[in-house]
Homo-oligomer: A and B are copies of this chain.
Amino acid sequence: MAGAKRATLKDVAAASGVSRATVSFVLNDTPNQSISQATRARILAVVRDLGYKPHGIARALREGTSRIVVLYIDSGLEGNYSRSYLRGLDEELAAHDHVLVVRHGPTGAGAEQQLRDAINPRAVVHFAEAYRTGHELEDRGGGRRDGLAAHTMLQIGCLAAHGHTRIALALPDAQAPLREIRELFSRQAAGELGLPSPVTVVVPRPRDAGTAAVAEFRGGHPAVTAFAGYDDDVALRTLTALHDLGVDVPGEAAVMGFDDTEYGALFTPALTTVHIDAEAHGRIAARDVLGLPTADLQAVPARVIERHTV
């Protein structure tokens, strides 16, 4: 049992007194094969005794793809969205006998191809693609129910509920991947609330650059009283800039985060933000790439975490 060479299908067949095909049939529940309960039970017992596990590589060669799915993720793992998404994706894949593996950083086409050549993954998922584009969730009604549009509405809505009408969307940089969609959804949300369209401000790193950017922005847009962060990071940078400028938050200006990180709670004043549980999004992504139905999966609604910056 210990240390021994790993058991192979042939071993199981030999020990059960049947052919390898038969073993394979019972292990895979192949339809239209009538194998007696007795043999079936005997084989299963041998499988257990020998600790037989199918050899993934051999299976992959035969089937054309391995039971691996790879997740490409470019952003960090600070926010709750990414963590819960990862958990959902991982668990759902595992439940369907697949294993998740992740690649970080920008996806060079070369690296992606290299990985494809190396393990023939069953599928590839790009982090939060459906959420980020809004498209797929939109098609299922999820965009406005539990997708980016809904979450943006939560953010803008919270600001509006506190009396703010001139809102700025704080962006990490001009090339932020979701910039356009976030601007769109923010505009729609403001529109529905009868507010003017949010303007946009880039709050870069490092600290003093962010402060300079916010100072300049405020000079040009004196009517703006609230900042809706693209994510918690940008919101925190904005909050810091405002602090460095001597602007009282929330007295003179409000700041709201997006996608709860652990750091927001630690700032003073602590960051008000929207908390998103994306486990269902991860599960849906898993089902999608496996070609399974997703109708029974329901995301839990996001919620505003009221702290002290609005």
Decide if A218 is an interface residue (CB 8 Å cutoff): no
Decide if A221 is an interface residue (CB 8 Å cutoff): no
Docked Cα-Cα span, A94 to B101, in Å, equals 17
Chain A contact-residue range equals: 35 or more
A 262-289 to B, binary, CB cutoff 8 A, 1 in contact else 0: 1101111010000000000000000000
Decide if A153 is an interface residue (CB 8 Å cutoff): no
Residue from A104, A206, A262, A265 with most neighbouring chain B CB atoms (10 Å): A104
Q: In the bound complex, do residue A117 and residue B263 qualify as a contact, i.e. CB atoms below 8 Å apart?
A: no
Copies in the complex: 2
A 98-121 to B, binary, CB cutoff 8 A, 1 in contact else 0: 011111110000010111011110
List, in ascending order, chain B residues with CB within 8 A of A102's CB: 101-104
Docked Cα-Cα span, A243 to B57, in Å, equals 56
List, in ascending order, chain B residues with CB within 8 A of A240's CB: 266-268
Docked Cα-Cα span, A231 to B111, in Å, equals 32
Docked Cα-Cα span, A140 to B290, in Å, equals 47
Q: In the bound complex, do residue A68 and residue B119 qualify as a contact, i.e. CB atoms below 8 Å apart?
A: yes
Residue from A53, A56, A267 with most neighbouring chain B CB atoms (10 Å): A56
List, in ascending order, chain B residues with CB within 8 A of A118's CB: 56, 60, 66-68, 99
List, in ascending order, chain B residues with CB within 8 A of A233's CB: 262
Binding site for B on A (CB under 8 A): 53-58, 60-61, 66-68, 70, 76-78, 86-87, 90, 94, 99-105, 111, 113-115, 117-120, 205-207, 233, 236-237, 240, 243-244, 262-263, 265-268, 270
